[in-house]
């Protein structure tokens, strides 16, 4: 008979006693790790998952693109060719992003980074994500209120 009868061991949301992270994000491989983890959680999330489902997201391509995106944001690597803000306009038009969507997105992003990394680059990733999420919120839902919060160039130009 198997001794492994406790099905709670298989609960993907169960708390796992991982050691605290002891290193920072320092390579593209490090980025790929947190991007893969983050979107695995997003795909299963009851609030965010349905938006990605409805968009029929090709996950492997999305993870590659977001790895390029963060390599550009954190290391200045030129690989990502897109405009993150404009890309969300048609998606938001079909499935409006609420404050709750943004709050969940940011909470999950922060949790994922904190699970794996600690240090200045990890800190920058979290700050950059928060800044972009609020810029996106203003652009999508509050254009008239944006005058005193100029959108930073890295969001709108290459």
Residue pointed to by tokens 């709050």: 103
Q: Which two tokens stand for residue 3?
A: 């001794």
Q: Is 74 in the site for ligand HEM (CB under 6 A)?
A: no
Nearest-CB residue for ligand HEM:
82
Nearer to ligand HEM, 11 or 58 (CB): 58
Residue 155's nearest CA partner among 84, 73, 74 is 84
* Per-position DSSP letters for 59-119, written without gaps between them: HHHHHHHHHHHHHHHHH--S---S-HHHHHHHHHHHSPPPHHHHHHHHHHHHHHHHHH--S
Chain centre distance of CA 56: 18
Stretch that binds ligand HEM, among 14-22, 24-32, 62-70, 119-127 (CB under 6 A): 62-70
CB of 128 to ligand HEM, least distance (A): 7
Work out which of 25, 31, 35, 51 binds ligand HEM, going by CB under 6 A: 51
CB of 115 or CB of 130, closer to ligand HEM: 130
The answer to whether 131 and 152 have CB atoms below 8 angstroms apart is yes
If the CB atoms of residues 3 and 154 are measured against ligand HEM, the closer one turns out to be 154
Binding site for ligand HEM (CB under 6 A): 48, 51-52, 55, 57, 62, 65-66, 69, 82, 84, 87-88, 91, 97, 101-102, 105, 129, 132-133, 136
């Amino acid at each position: 008979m198997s001794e492994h009868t406790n099905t709670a061991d298989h609960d993907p949301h169960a708390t796992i006693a991982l050691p605290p992270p002891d290193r920072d994000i320092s390579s593209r491989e490090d980025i790929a790790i947190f991007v893969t983890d983050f979107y695995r959680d997003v795909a299963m999330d009851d609030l965010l998952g349905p938006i990605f489902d409805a968009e029929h997201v090709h996950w492997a391509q999305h993870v590659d693109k977001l790895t390029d995106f963060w390599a550009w944001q954190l290391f200045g690597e030129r690989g990502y060719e897109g405009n993150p803000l404009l890309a969300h306009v048609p998606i938001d038009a079909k499935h409006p992003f609420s404050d709750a969507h943004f709050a969940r997105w940011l909470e999950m992003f922060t949790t994922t980074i904190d699970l794996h990394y600690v240090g200045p680059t990890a800190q920058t990733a979290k700050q950059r994500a928060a800044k972009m999420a609020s810029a996106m919120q203003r652009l999508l839902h509050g254009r008239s209120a944006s005058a005193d919060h100029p959108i930073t160039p890295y969001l709108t130009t290459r």
